Amino acid sequence: MAPIRTAIVGLSASAKTSWASNAHLPYLLSARGRSRYEIVALCNSSVEAARKSIAHYNLPKETRAYGDPESLAKDNDVEFVVVCTRVDVHYGTALPSVKAGKTVFVEWPLAQDSAHAEDLSKSARESGSKTIVGLQGRSAPPVVKLRELLQQSRIGRVLSSEIHAAGGSIDRDLLPLGLKYFTEKAIGGNIVTIGLGHLFDQVQYVLGELSDFKGRVQIQRPNVRIRDPATNKVIETVKSDVPDLVFTVGTLSESATSQEGASVLLRFRRGQPFKGDPALVWTINGEKGEIRLIAQDGTALHASAYSGPVTIEVHDFATDEVETVQWGWKEWQEELPVLARSVGAVYESIADGDIKSLPSFDDALVRHQQLTGIVEN
């Protein structure tokens, strides 16, 4: 099968944050990725910026450079468009290719708010565009393993689950200059939508869809210091309107893996946990046992949680024994940087023709609406 002709929107040579180059490009430029995908175009803020990125990343000289998403959408040679821009321009950069009926992958969050996410989802249904949203944590091995344990009835049906997480940014009241926009809720990219949003999706992928939400949010530290990475000095202090503490409780419907009305409690706090404590502790209490996942150094199981140990244990109530359950990356994933491994699994599914197994714009809209309900409750 010929490689999928791919365009990337937002692969910048000068971006202050570089998710496209750190998480997407390693797979696409690997031997495995090149056999399945061909980067034929880049779209940046200008044609010149796109050309600079083509040169910077040593892409083939024949790679086409675009400076606006409308021109890219008109390129009939492009089959697949990957959008890795800042959240507040996801909508404008993705919409033309969606309307053109191309297959489109947009990183999470899908858009800056639920209204724009809904319009993207509606446009995709109207055009027949196949869509994928970057909730790649569903492919992370620890998340897959938790789901398998429940489906294997290792602990019987779920009675309750608790998630205690601290993260979303490295520091509780400090941000690098490139993430200053995390303090502006209107932009749509922040610790709630990104840090909590990814984890919130993974929780429901494992346990099932939640309902009957009750939430409470708080801005504990409204004054956020902004650090210049070049000098490592604080250059200003800004006022944040983004919650840095979120509590929510919801319930699960009866299913093969869950008791009717099983409670799920989640607490997400920005920044560091108590000194020495894990960043993430997720317990799942069942009829026959309990599962505990601990990620020592991060909440981002889809990305950077692996600088320290990530462990899964099962307590069997009948034997009173605790077993450590092993999980692992596939051999080809281990050849990639950690940030690129779960993203690479998404690309593998797309190339295998298994897009329906991946979260779509419709799925993303549900998550947007859930998070909006929690924050604005």
**HEC readout, the chain:** CCCEEEEEECCCCCCCCCHHHHHHHHHHCCHHHHHHEEEEEEECCCHHHHHHHHHHCCCCCCCEEECCHHHHHCCCCCCEEEECCCHHHHHHHHHHHHHCCCEEEEECCCCCCHHHHHHHHHHHHHHCCCEEEECHHHHCHHHHHHHHHHHCCCCCCEEEEEEEEEECCCCCCEEEHHHHHHHCHHHCCCHHHHHHHHHHHHHHHHHCCEEEEEEEEECCCCEEEEEECCCCEEEEEEECCCCCEEEEEEEECCCCCEEEEEEEEEEEEECCCCCCCCCEEEEEEECCEEEEEEECCCCCCCCCCCCCCEEEEEEECCCCEEEEECCCCCHHHHCCCHHHHHHHHHHHHHHCCCHHHCCCHHHHHHHHHHHHHHHHC
pLDDT value of position 1: 77
Residue 376 pLDDT greater than 90, yes or no: no
Percentage of residues in the chain having pLDDT higher than 90: 96
Give me the CATH code for the 138-327 domain, please. 3.30.360.10
Dist CA 177 CA 179 (whole Å)? 5
Amino acid at the residue 6: T
Residue 78 has pLDDT above 70, yes or no: yes
φ/ψ of residue 328, rounded to 5: -165, 160
Residue 211, pLDDT above cutoff 80 = yes
Residue range(s) occupied by CATH 3.30.360.10 in the chain: 138-327
Burial class from Cβ neighbours inside 10 Å (0-12, 13-18, 19+) for residue 150 reads: buried
pLDDT of residue 16: 52
Q: Residue written as tokens 């608790």?
A: 162
Q: Record the tokens describing residue 29, joined without a space.
A: 């430029």
Mean pLDDT for the stretch of residues 192-196: 96
Sign (positive or negative) of CA dihedral 113, 116, 122, 123: negative
Kindly report the pTM of this predicted structure. Answer: 0.96
| 317-334 pLDDT, tens digit each | 999 999 999 999 999 999
Asked if pLDDT for residue 375 goes beyond 80, the answer is yes
Per-residue model confidence (pLDDT) at position 236: 96
Which residue do the tokens 């800056």 mark? 112
Q: What is the pLDDT of residue 22?
A: 95
Q: What is the mean pLDDT of residues 260-269?
A: 97
- In the prediction, which pLDDT does 13 show? 83
The number of residues making up the chain comes to 377
User: Quick check: 30 pLDDT over 80?
Assistant: yes
Q: What is the mean pLDDT of residues 44-72?
A: 96
Unique residue bearing structure tokens 């947007």 = 368
Q: 43 and 72 in contact (C-beta within 8 Å)?
A: yes
What's the pLDDT tens digit per position in 223-236? 999 999 989 999 99
In the chain, which segments carry CATH 3.40.50.720?
4-135+346-364
Compute the average pLDDT of residues 279-283.
98
Structure tokens at 63: 């790679």
Q: How far apart are CA 356 and CA 367, in angstroms?
A: 17
Predicted confidence at residue 273, as pLDDT, reads 96
Instruction: Give residue-wise pLDDT tens across range 354-366.
Output: 999 999 999 999 9
Report pLDDT for 18.
Answer: 85
What is the average per-residue pLDDT within 96-108?
98
Confidence of residue 17 (pLDDT cuts 50, 70, 90): low
Q: What is the mean pLDDT of residues 124-133?
A: 98
Q: Residues 228, 214: contact at Cβ < 8 Å?
A: no
The architecture in CATH of the region 4-135+346-364 reads 3-Layer(aba) Sandwich (3.40)
pLDDT band of residue 251 (cuts 50, 70, 90) is very high
Looking at the predicted structure, is the pLDDT value of residue 343 above 90? yes
pLDDT at 15 over 70: no
Q: Per the structure block, which two tokens stand in for 46?
A: 């200008």
Compute the distance between CA of residue 234 and CA of residue 174 in angstroms, rounded to an integer: 9
